Amino acid sequence: MATKAATLLKAPKTIDTREKKNRKLTRKDVKAAAAKYKNWGRWGKDDEIGTLNFTTADHIVAAAKLVQKGKVMSLALKYDQTGPQGAKSKYPALGRFNPIHLMTRTGTDAYAGILDHRKIRGTDDIIIMPLQCGTQWDGLGHIMYENYMWNGYDCRNVSSSGAAKAGIEKTAEKMVGRGVLLDVARAMGKKHLPDGFAITNEMLDYTEKKQGVKVGRGDYLLVHTGHVQRCLDSKSWDGYSGGDAPGFAFETVSWIHKREIAGVATDTWGAEVRPNQTEDTTQPWHWITIPIMGLTVGEIFNLTELAKDCAADKRYEFLFVAPALPITGAVGSPVNPLAIK
C-alpha cells in the first residue's frame, strides 16, 4: 500500500514523441534490443506460449488469496457497433470493423409459431467480427521479426489456414494469476495522459513507489493511461485506432524483460507510445515484446472502474482472470478480462 514517503517522490521527466527530437531511434536500436532480450529456446525449442510460462501454480494460489471483498470488475468494452473501429484515423486500414450481430431465430419467429415443429421456442444468433476489433489479446503469431515469429519459428507457419505454431488456443489455460495495475495517469496527476506521452522505465518505477506495489515474476501488468475513458467522455473514437496516443516507451522492453512478467495490457489501441520513437520501423516495441520475448499483449482494455477502485481502497493487486477464446490457429482473441478483489 502507498505510504506517506510516496508523496515526497520527485516526478519523472516526461517525453512527448510528437516532438521530432524524441523520435531518433532506428532499426539499428531495434536489432540491438532483439539480440539482448531474445527468449527463443528459453522454455525449449517447441515452446508456443512464451512468457506465460512464468506464471506457476503457486503464483495462482497466491493470487486467489488476494480476493477479499468478492468484487468482480469486467475490463472489457462491449462488443457492438459503438466500438473503436471505423472512426477517423490516418493509420493505414487493417480491415478491422466493429462486431456485426445477427439473429438467426427470433422471438418474432416464436410468436408466429414457425418454430413449433421443434416443439420448443427459442432464439439463436451469430456474430461476425475481427478477433482484434475490441478488448483483445495479441497472440504470439500476430507480429513477426523479419522472417521469424516467436521462438524462431518460420513466419510462414502462419498461413491462410491460421497459425500452425503459437496459435492462441495454446494459451487456453493461461492468463490467470496476480494482476497489478499501474495507474500512470493518476501517478502523474492527470485524468488521462496526453497523446505522445512516453511511459518510461523511470515512470513505471515511480508509479510502483507511489502506489506501494511491486510487479514481479509471473504477474500480469495492467497500465492505465485514461485513453479509453477520454474517448468515451468525448463520445468519439476518432484517432484512437492507430493515431497518436500515450503508451510504453521503447526502453520498457528492458523493464518488462527483467521483471519476467507473464503478460501486459493497456487501455490504448497499440500499447506503445504513438508517434513511435522510430521513423523507419512501425510499432518497434511490438517487434521485440511479441516475437522476440514471447510476451502476450492486451489492448483496448477498459481500466476506468478498476483504477477508481484501486485508488479508493489503495490495493493495486488482484486476481486476474482473462483466458483467450481457444480458437484454433488464431493470432489474437477477444476477451472479457476480470479483476477480482
At 53, the amino acid letter reads N
Question: Which of the listed residues 76, 110, 129 is the one where a domain comes to its end?
Answer: 129
Residues of the chain with pLDDT under 70: 1-7
Print the domain residue range for 117. Answer: 96-129
Domains contained in the chain, number:
2
At 89 the pLDDT is: 87
Q: Are 106 and 179 members of one domain? A: no
Contact (Cβ atoms closer than 8 angstroms) between residue 318 and residue 337: no
Query: pTM for the full model?
Result: 0.95
- Residue 187 in any domain: the answer is yes
Asked whether the CA dihedral 276, 277, 280, 286 is positive or negative, the reply is negative
Q: Are 230 and 111 members of one domain? A: no
Backbone angles phi, psi at 194, to 5 degrees: -75, 165
Max alpha carbon distance in the chain (Å)? 73
C-alpha cell of residue 117: 415443429
- Residue 91 in any domain: the answer is no
Q: pLDDT, tens digit, for every residue of 135-187?
A: 999 999 999 999 999 999 999 999 999 999 999 999 999 999 999 999 999 99
At 2 the pLDDT is: 55
Contact (Cβ atoms closer than 8 angstroms) between residue 82 and residue 135: no
Looking at the DSSP bridge assignments, the partners of residue 231 are none
The dihedral over CA atoms of 235, 239, 240, 242, expressed in degrees to the nearest 10, equals 160
At 5 the pLDDT is: 59
- Residue 79 in any domain: the answer is yes
- Residue 43 sits in a domain whose CATH number is 3.50.30.50
C-alpha cell of residue 310: 484501486
pLDDT > 90 in the chain, percent: 94
